[in-house]
Structure 1
Amino acid sequence: MKEYQTITEISGPLVFAEVDEPIGYDEIVEIETPNGDTKRGQVLESSSGLVAIQVFEGTEGIDRKSSVRFLGETLKMPVTEDLLGRVLDGSGQPIDGGPEIVPDDRHDIVGAAINPYAREYPQEFIQTGVSAIDGMNTLIRGQKLPIFSGSGLPHNDLALQIARQASVPEEEEGDDDEGSEFAVIFGAMGITAEEANEFMDDFERTGALERSVVFMNLADDPAVERTVTPRMALTTAEYLAFEKGYHVLVILTDMTNYCEALREIGAAREEVPGRRGYPGYMYTDLAQLYERAGRIEGREGSVTQLPILTMPGDDDTHPIPDLTGYITEGQIYIDRDLNSQGIEPPIDVLPSLSRLMDDGIGEGFTREDHEDVANQLFAAYARGEDLRDLVNIVGREALSELDNKYLDFADRFETEFVDQGSETNRSIEETLGIGWDLLGGLPKQELNRIDEEFIETYYPEDAESETAEEVAAD
């Protein structure tokens, strides 16, 4: 191990040093300041005679007299099953006052890419207890399903609700899943101290911390650490899933802060910026994170991702949500108008999408009518939304009785199906039951997306007599 005192420049979170031997990309560095403090960093760029080092703890106190030591290895995460119940900082160091981590192994945080041939197609339902997700945009084990939100919206409340309620329903568990447990990895990037306290209070109050590993990077922590936090979280998730057989749900918030850190580092490196100043490689960087979700043939566990991002200006064409949408399998939209109406959680199901939903519901997973009910609810709510615009022009009195039924349906859908509060945990049977109650407000003839067998079985008996006369009138 060689030690250098050849720092030539300090720029933002970066330190540049001259070297006389080849240095590996991503190699870990220790920098000792003149006052005796030691800071860790990582080689960001290596060329002949010069290296650029990103410093995790910030460059304060570092000057040209500081010593630089290259450790000859990449950054690794100490992994063990005992991490469950622990709270760590963004670089994987315990901050909960507990004992030091005694690892079973140390894994490279970059991870190993899953061989596409070895990937198992995601087909198993995860119950979040949130009707707008379970019923309309179902989350599947091994999927990556982001939440698109905006500044000031309650996406953190939704993240906490999913973290404490997410489970694999008993009827979903087959022989291959016998003995599998559920765990949550929570990676917070660039959040405020107030948000961090809210998260921890909720985890401790509900007991969710016992099955969780929390990585906490605060807003006043170095931006460079934000680029490490999701990789630490995903490395832990892969260990628990593929070596210990857990079904792991990874919640990452806020990916916008992560991308801002990439932009800050890119500016310090004087890189040529891409769209809106973000690095041109941001798509590749995000893909390296999101593609670490999945299942592997022959392994019990799974890694499911629920990344959360706040869209700047509520603009879903912004580079961060735009690139995320290309990589992931759908998105859940948090709506500002629904939030202003007091709907909790304010999920807008119409632009939301889960591309793997059809493969994870139906016979063998949940009730067979799930797909038909979801399609009919989508169609009826979309028609009600269109009619709301028409009402603003011609008034409700100008609409037919059937159109008024759809308007009532849209109102009830938001207040009874979507709105459930942050403490309500609904089973998939309860969710579908509410859906059928809502569809009972429409004539049978309007249920053209549901199999006749299901209509005869589940259509509310008392609803038929109420709508028969109205259908005849129309």
Structure 2
Amino acid sequence: MSSRWGEVEYTDVCELRGPLMVVRGVRGVGWDEFARVRLESGEQRHGLVLEVHHDLAVLQILEGTAGMTKTGTRVAFAGEPLRIPVGPGWLGRTCTGRGEPADGGPPILSSATAPVAGYPLNPVWREPPAEPVLTGVSAIDALTTLVRGQKLPIFAAPGLPHLELATQIAAQATVAGEPFCVVFAGMGLTHTDAAFVRDALEDRSDAGELVLLLNTAGDPVIERILTPRLALTIAEDLAFTHGKHVLVVLTDMTAYAEALREVSSARGELPARRAYPGYLYSDLASLYERCGRIRDHPGSVTVLPVLTMPAGDITHPVPDLTGYITEGQIVLSPDLHARGIYPPIDALSSLSRLMRKGAGPGRTREDHLPLAAQVLAALAHARQVRDLADLIGASALSPTDRRHLDFADAFEHRLVDQRRDEPRTLDDTLDRAWQAVLTLPERELVMLPAALLRLRKAS
């Protein structure tokens, strides 16, 4: 090792394996410590310490190890975890997955910095999620309302328009009368998808309400692991230092988990289910649990992870573990997609466990919760009737059952189906839900209070 610029530099690189580098002879180095790596050519890269054993340190190189050699490489450790500048300077910017400008602008500079791993938070300072984040998507706002401080994932099979839905929500989500912004983190995107995201969110970016971090499939795998942590660090500062309500969209978390599996394999760790590392649950939780509200702080962080289920398998480890950690799910339906319904949200498979915290009198509308309950009850019955009609034919159904089939069609075409450039107000959404349920006989509307029915008919 040798000394330069007042730092200790280590030159004994004993192994390069995938995205990892092993350095020998280190002293006083800790886990998650940030490192600067200088190649013989003068190029500078960056790394994070994954493991320290005696005098060996294993680093993950953020830019990858391609082109690196064991000789001529110098490593200097910063003595602290990776920190990034934070503040409103991120708003309106488009950056790579590791936070470097991708829009031709200057680097983001700030006197304030924060660790990428986040700050530990005493659970007693957490406030329960409350108040809605309106997405402008009727099927979500009416039936699976997103609540400030909630973590609510979108589950999709391959080939479904999950990226389109995620960008639509990011482009048109709002909160009533308070500062709001979006942090969008794309992981493992194709260049075509990345260009689509940039174009779709251009207006929100121009308004200074968006932070866009884009990691493409050709970028180093380590960057894919860093991207959501950068996004959440930026969001936490915007929320709890600057008082904004922040929606963080993370897509695609399956690509993130694949990157985690690749790094785990390079480290030689024993694999768990489907070759994912045994700590996949705790790693996902370390991301999802960074949402919420804090006592005496006006802002909030709401997380909307998006993930594709390989072969549409909801028991796959990534959606399975995500479902344990989060508070519900929005599930996309291949059947609705095949019939041309957008967004193809399966209302009966979707759930927001905190919906009652964000909907109802004083938050949305007095009729919201009973109307949502009636829609779901009628939809469940209509699905049973549709299965029965496949067996005995629609002509053999009772008049009431045929009315339920009419309701299902009205629900799909009046409420669920909407154009991608058509943000709907909550009043419009709930009025469409009323139009659907009123196709049923009044005796079937058992979830709606009589007073609401009378008021609706009078209007």
State the TM-score, normalizing by the size of structure 1. Answer: 0.93
Q: Say if 2:11 is the partner of 1:5.
A: yes
Matches within 5 A, 1:155-304: 155-170=162-177, 180-205=178-203, 210-304=208-302
Alignment partners' CA distance in 1, 2:39 and 2:204: 43
Partner of residue 376, structure 2? 378
Structure 1 residue 88: deviation in Å?
1.1
**Amino acid across the alignment from 2:103:** D
Partner of residue 51, structure 1? 57
Alignment partners' CA distance in 2, 1:204 and 1:445: 49
SS in 2 for 1:379: helix
CA contact (8 A) 2:235 2:301 kept: yes
CA contact (8 A) 2:92 2:205 kept: no
Which one of the candidate residues 28, 33, 38 is aligned to 2:34?
A: 28
Gapped regions of structure 1 (runs ≥ 5)? 171-179, 462-474
Partner of residue 454, structure 1? 452
Q: Say if 2:121 is the partner of 1:123.
A: no
CA contact (8 A) 1:185 1:250 kept: yes
Structure 1 residue 160: deviation in Å?
1.3
Alignment partners' CA distance in 1, 2:20 and 2:294: 38
SS in 2 for 1:364: coil
Structure 1 residue 336: deviation in Å?
1.0
Q: Say if 2:118 is the partner of 1:111.
A: yes
Partner of residue 420, structure 1? 418
Alignment partners' CA distance in 1, 2:155 and 2:169: 15
The structure-2 alpha-carbon separation of the partners of 1:209 and 1:155, relative to structure 1 and needing over 3 Å to count, comes to farther
Alignment partners' CA distance in 2, 1:280 and 1:215: 28
Alignment partners' CA distance in 2, 1:261 and 1:363: 44
The runs of at least 4 consecutive aligned structure 1 residues that moved more than 2 Å come to 205-210
The structure-2 alpha-carbon separation of the partners of 1:39 and 1:347, relative to structure 1 and needing over 3 Å to count, comes to same
Alignment partners' CA distance in 2, 1:255 and 1:317: 15
Partner of residue 87, structure 1? 94
Alignment partners' CA distance in 2, 1:391 and 1:207: 49
CA contact (8 A) 1:22 1:48 kept: no
**Amino acid across the alignment from 2:262:** E
Structure 1 residue 208: deviation in Å?
6.0
CA contact (8 A) 2:190 2:216 kept: yes
Partner of residue 3, structure 2? none
Partner of residue 470, structure 1? none
Partner of residue 304, structure 2? 306
The structure-2 alpha-carbon separation of the partners of 1:404 and 1:29, relative to structure 1 and needing over 3 Å to count, comes to same
Alignment partners' CA distance in 2, 1:374 and 1:183: 28
SS in 2 for 1:287: helix
Of all paired residues, the percent bearing the same amino acid is: 48
CA RMSD of aligned residues (A): 1.2
CA contact (8 A) 1:139 1:357 kept: yes
Indicate the larger mover: 412-421 or 198-207.
198-207
CA contact (8 A) 1:436 1:460 kept: no
Structure 1 residue 222: deviation in Å?
0.5
The structure-2 alpha-carbon separation of the partners of 1:111 and 1:207, relative to structure 1 and needing over 3 Å to count, comes to closer
State the TM-score, normalizing by the size of structure 2. Answer: 0.96
The structure-2 alpha-carbon separation of the partners of 1:441 and 1:156, relative to structure 1 and needing over 3 Å to count, comes to same
Number of matched pairs = 452
SS in 1 for 2:285: helix
User: Over residues 100-152 of structure 1, what are the superposed CA-to-partner deviations in whole Å (9 max), with x where a residue is unaligned?
Assistant: 22213110011113322111111101111111000000000000000001212
**Amino acid across the alignment from 1:213:** V
CA contact (8 A) 2:93 2:205 kept: no
